[in-house]
A and B are shown apart, each in its own frame.
Chain A
Amino acid sequence: MSCHTVARAEDPPAASSRRTVAVVGPPNSGKTTLYNRLTGLRQKVGNFPGVTVEHHIGYLRDANGDEVALIDLPGIYSLVPRSEDERVAVDVLHGAMPGMPRPDGVIVVLNSNNLNTHLVLAARVIALGLPTLVLLNMADELHKQNGAVDVLALARQLGTAVALVSATTGLGLEAVTNFLAASSPAPEPLELPVLGSTRSVREWAVRASENANYRRPATPVWTTRLDNIFLHRTWGPVIFAGVVIAVFQMIFVAGKPLQDLLQRFLDATGAWVGPMMPDGLLRSLVINGVWKGTGSVLVFLPQILLLFLVIGILEDSGYLARAAVIADRTMSRVGLNGKSFIPLLSAYACAVPAIMATRTIESKRDRLATILIAPFMTCSARLPVYTMVIAAFLPSQPVLGPFLNTRAAAMLGLYVLGFLMAVLTARLLKSTVLKSKDAPFILEMPPYRWPRLSSLGMRLVDRGKAFLYRAGTVIMLVSLLLWAATNFPMHNGQPPAIQDSVVASVGHAIEPVIRPLGFDWKIGVGLVTSLAAREVIIATLGTLNGIDVASHSLDLQNALLHELTLPGAVALLVFFAFAMQCMSTLAVVRRETNSWKWPAVQFAYMTVVAYVAAFAAYRIAGYFIH
């Protein structure tokens, strides 16, 4: 008899209507890989109402050819509703989640290499009384490391169907379609110590696996060997620094040109399609509204996909957990943990993929804190603004011999400024609203594995789709609003000059507020349009001054000299260092926290900080210059 035979009681005939089956399992059980293997691309992401927890619904056909909906629940260790993840899983399994019927069955995914620990969760789930299939995943690793288990005996112990499977090789997965085809009976009430303490359930688990002749596999030698290097006192940090530099380079050196290329392509297609349409409002709407809006969504994709490719490789290989251990000591000084390091680092390229990357942080509070401070990191969209203003106001003079001139020093100063504000905000958050006494740094270290192309690909598709559908729609909407604000009110069917548009009125309206910072209404208009993306302020100031920025950037620098005083320029730089001038980031924060609350808080906080700091900078600079 093969070892992955499904042991099950008699099969009653399958139900005719589409059934839903929930998939649960602890983190590091390979649940997601298994889920992706079963449903492939036939899945969609959703959020449960009122919580940040995300779930996937995917479809597959059972052995009878009937379609079954599989719900992927968050990775959990127990059914004691302690965290948001566990509360969601418990609610779904009890049928208490609004808008989701109680599932018709449960598939519990366990790591067969760690059976004693993982059977504790299985016992809790079986006790719910739903038809249950227990999958012992990673059978390939179990066999390779000389482990063994008798599934039939274990099925007798658990009173449910049990199968030994491997999500990576596909071994034994027919057990799932067979299970789905049969409306299996609810598990017979066993002497499961379901109401007992974790300790008593664990004792039962040890007995059950003993009775199933479970032989725990040996620790993979390679994991120990690699850890000797990657967590070595000296080599560990050196390799870590190398990986960090590689990630950074990848996003900047490969991501930025890809982004520029895509932007040029979108501009070119717009310029190509434009003349085919009659001149007028419709053409303007299509080219400058819809197409530009599409462009401002799509330009993020190269960076998002690249970052998730890199993070996917780091996470699937097991290195991400080691990197977190190495970065933890430094990050703990600002009240965060090691897992925040990579997302914060990638925020130097762009906050949008960085905020999406925070999902590797298990602690909800640490994740939120990381999301809230990420936009303070100097992203690449700030660079054109910094470059333009610095070049206009600061003559290039050597500061530290040939190594550093005044302009580079100013740029460096702005980087440091953003970083310091991020640290300060993290401290503030972690000592007040996001204090996380209940979620200290506890991190399971998975063994090293080769990342699988299919799993990396699924992740990219998943993240790309999530960004386009959820954040993309918001970005598109704001782009259209900005388009409307610059194209109305119309005069004789013609869009107005920007000086007469709605956005100019907004600029005039906010002028009294920004006057104390040394900004006039034109800068005000730039602040509004830069919500689309920070660098848009340059093009706007160009239009307002009748200058083509692409060919006459020196003219714009001269125009800026008339527009702003030197203290005003300093204030503008400080304002851009701190302000949340990016609707795409706000859209992504909304998408990742599943509420408007946090993006609103973040926008308000960053704007206030930027305003106060710019005001202070204006006054201090004014004092020294006079």
Chain B
Amino acid sequence: MELKMIFNFIFRRKPHRHSDSSALADLPVGVRAIVQELQLDHPIAEHLMNLGFIPGLEVSVERSGPGGDPRVYRVEGTEVAIRRELSRHIHVSLVGAPAFGD
């Protein structure tokens, strides 16, 4: 799994699209997905990328804050809390069938 991701990442392979991309904010807790696109202003997108939200990398929804917002996401070794107003603009695709060999 890990190796496959790195492979996809390095060779810029589009990860397998399970369905149309959805917003990170809409994913339930516990689900993993691949970052597709950050539809955000440059400084914010850049900041998120510096934290690890880079298209092609895996992100998982770790937990929800007590009120349901903000929620905590994990990218590689980093856990980041983001409000829904922002995660709504992070487009992801669900981790589905094998990404290469198909």
Q: Do A and B truly interact?
A: yes
**Could you tell me which A residues sit within 8 Å of B by CB distance?**
26, 77-78, 80, 82, 111, 113-114, 116-117, 120-121, 198-199, 202-203, 206-207, 210, 216-217, 219, 227-228, 231-234, 236-237, 321, 324-326, 328-329, 332, 437-438, 440-445
Assess A325 versus B76: contact at CB under 8 Å? Given A77-B47, A442-B47: no
A234 nearest CB across to chain B (Å): 8
* Chain A residues near B51 (CB-CB < 8 A): 77, 117, 442, 444
**Could you tell me which B residues sit within 8 Å of A by CB distance?**
6, 9-10, 41, 43-44, 46-52, 54-56, 62-67, 69-70, 72, 75-83, 85-86
**A198 with B66: CB separation less than 8 A:** no
How long is the Cα–Cα vector from A532 to B66 in the complex, in angstroms? 43
**B65 with A442: CB separation less than 8 A:** no
**B54 with A202: CB separation less than 8 A:** yes
* Chain A residues near B47 (CB-CB < 8 A): 77, 82, 442
Assess A198 versus B50: contact at CB under 8 Å? Given A231-B63, A326-B66, A440-B83: yes
**B66 with A232: CB separation less than 8 A:** yes
* Chain B residues near A77 (CB-CB < 8 A): 47, 50-51
**How many A-B contacts at CB < 8 Å in the complex?**
116
**A82 with B76: CB separation less than 8 A:** no
**A325 with B72: CB separation less than 8 A:** yes
Residue of B at shortest CB range from A324? B81
* Chain B residues near A114 (CB-CB < 8 A): 76-78
A240 nearest CB across to chain B (Å): 8
Q: A329-B66, A442-B86 are in contact. List 12 more A-B contacts (CB 8 A).
A: A111-B77, A117-B51, A199-B55, A203-B9, A206-B6, A216-B76, A228-B63, A324-B81, A437-B41, A441-B83, A443-B70, A443-B80
**A325 with B81: CB separation less than 8 A:** yes
Assess A198 versus B65: contact at CB under 8 Å? Given A216-B77, A325-B81, A442-B82: no
* Chain A residues near B9 (CB-CB < 8 A): 203, 206
**A444 with B43: CB separation less than 8 A:** no
A318 nearest CB across to chain B (Å): 10
How long is the Cα–Cα vector from A203 to B72 in the complex, in angstroms? 24
**B77 with A440: CB separation less than 8 A:** no
How long is the Cα–Cα vector from A26 to B80 in the complex, in angstroms? 14
**A198 with B49: CB separation less than 8 A:** yes
Assess A82 versus B43: contact at CB under 8 Å? Given A210-B6, A233-B66, A440-B86: yes
B77 nearest CB across to chain A (Å): 4
The 7 A-B residue pairs with the shortest CB-CB distance, nearest first, are A77-B50, A114-B77, A445-B79, A329-B67, A198-B49, A443-B81, A236-B66
B39 nearest CB across to chain A (Å): 14
Selected contact of A438 from candidates B41, B49, B85, CB within 8 Å: B41
Q: Would you list 5 pairs from A and B whose C-beta atoms are within 8 A, ordered by A residue? A: A77-B51, A117-B78, A231-B65, A328-B70, A437-B41
How long is the Cα–Cα vector from A324 to B69 in the complex, in angstroms? 11
How long is the Cα–Cα vector from A260 to B60 in the complex, in angstroms? 52
* Chain B residues near A237 (CB-CB < 8 A): 66
Interface centre among A203, A210, A228, A442 (most CB of B within 10 A): A442
* Chain B residues near A26 (CB-CB < 8 A): 50
Assess A231 versus B72: contact at CB under 8 Å? Given A443-B80, A444-B79: yes
Selected contact of A78 from candidates B10, B50, B52, B78, CB within 8 Å: B50
How long is the Cα–Cα vector from A88 to B46 in the complex, in angstroms? 18
How long is the Cα–Cα vector from A207 to B49 in the complex, in angstroms? 17
